[in-house]
Structure 1
Amino acid sequence: MPSTVSLIPAAPSDVALAHFEAAFGFETDCWDVHHALTTDTQDFVLLDVRSHELYNQGHLPQAISLPHGKIIAAKMAQWPRETLFVVYCAGPHCNGAHRGAVRLARLGYPVKMMIGGVMGWIDEGFELAREEVMV
């Protein structure tokens, strides 16, 4: 009897390759964001889409606090349409980054989600920043 892992066969290699390569168009990870921040190669706007209160408790360096519900055309007009946004939330148990990505995509902005969120950042041993945003 096969395990639940192998009960459904793996996709053919060409299909798997297309799937996993496509994922990089939607996602980035903590290491890649950290590398960009620490090597002065940041070519994206980093958005913390959690509440201002959670942002104030600790956030990624250089992140802007913009709760996903506040991502609207008027607010985003300050950035050119070609601006790449990287969104993150608390972690895998949170869908705030997905919600923020949907809002940005609907407004026509390129967007990627940082998988792992704040929990992933901490798990990788990276430090959080503590500057507060005034609400």
Structure 2
Amino acid sequence: MSPVFTVPAAESSDALAHFTASLHFETDCADVHSAITGSEPADFVLLDVRSPALYASGHLPGAVNLPHGKIVASKLAAYPAETLFVTYCAGPHCNGATRGAIRLAQLGRPVKLMIGGITGWLDEGFELAIEEPA
């Protein structure tokens, strides 16, 4: 028996529930790219939770920089309570997007995490925006 079969697969109904539920918590780079480059304005705020220096060196177009450790109610006051935030960080090796999502959820804000982060974005062949020096 291969290592794949060491733990049996879930029943199909359980797998359906699990994978459907995961989409309530996350989105991917392709869906975000489609949303921010489409003809309609994005219906979420894309939140880069990395440091300002990393943000300036390259970020997703239209993203707002708010490091995960600085996500507090006062920084979100300009956004209506129903605003959906999509967090991202450097990539799968980084848990900053998860930390940011936790802080947003603790503040009662709708949130999803963009899986893959900057690494996934670049892997998909999408361009980063770079801040021009002042």
Tell me if TM exceeds 0.5: yes
Letter in 1 for 2:11: P
Query: Which residue in the other structure is 1:36 paired with?
Result: 35
TM-score of the two chains, using structure 2 as the length reference: 0.96
Query: Which residue in the other structure is 1:75 paired with?
Result: 75
Conservation of the 8 A alpha-carbon contact between 1:52 and 1:133: no
TM-score of the two chains, using structure 1 as the length reference: 0.95
Is the aligned partner of 1:119 residue 2:119? yes
Runs of 4+ in 1 over 3 A off after TM superposition: none
Residues 16-65 of structure 1, C-alpha deviations (whole Å, 9 max, x = no match): 00000001100000000000011133100000000111101100000001
Q: Provide the C-alpha distance between the structure 1 equivalents of 2:109 and 2:61, rounded to a whole number of angstroms.
A: 22
Query: Which residue in the other structure is 1:66 paired with?
Result: 66
Letter in 2 for 1:92: P
Q: Provide the C-alpha distance between the structure 1 equivalents of 2:132 and 2:61, rounded to a whole number of angstroms.
A: 12
Q: Secondary structure at 2:4's aligned position in 1?
A: coil
Unaligned runs of 5+ in 2: none
Q: Secondary structure at 2:21's aligned position in 1?
A: helix
* Equivalent residues in 2 for 1:7-46, closer than 5 Å: 7-41=6-40, 42-46=42-46
Letter in 1 for 2:67: P
Q: Secondary structure at 2:87's aligned position in 1?
A: strand
CA RMSD of aligned residues (A): 1.3
Say which is worse superposed, 6-15 or 33-42, in terms of deviation. Answer: 33-42
Shift of 1:70: 0.5
Residues 97-125 of structure 1, C-alpha deviations (whole Å, 9 max, x = no match): 00000000000000000000000000000
Letter in 2 for 1:3: S
Conservation of the 8 A alpha-carbon contact between 1:84 and 1:110: yes
Give me the identity figure in percent: 67
Q: Secondary structure at 2:50's aligned position in 1?
A: coil
The count of residues paired between Structure 1 and Structure 2 equals 133
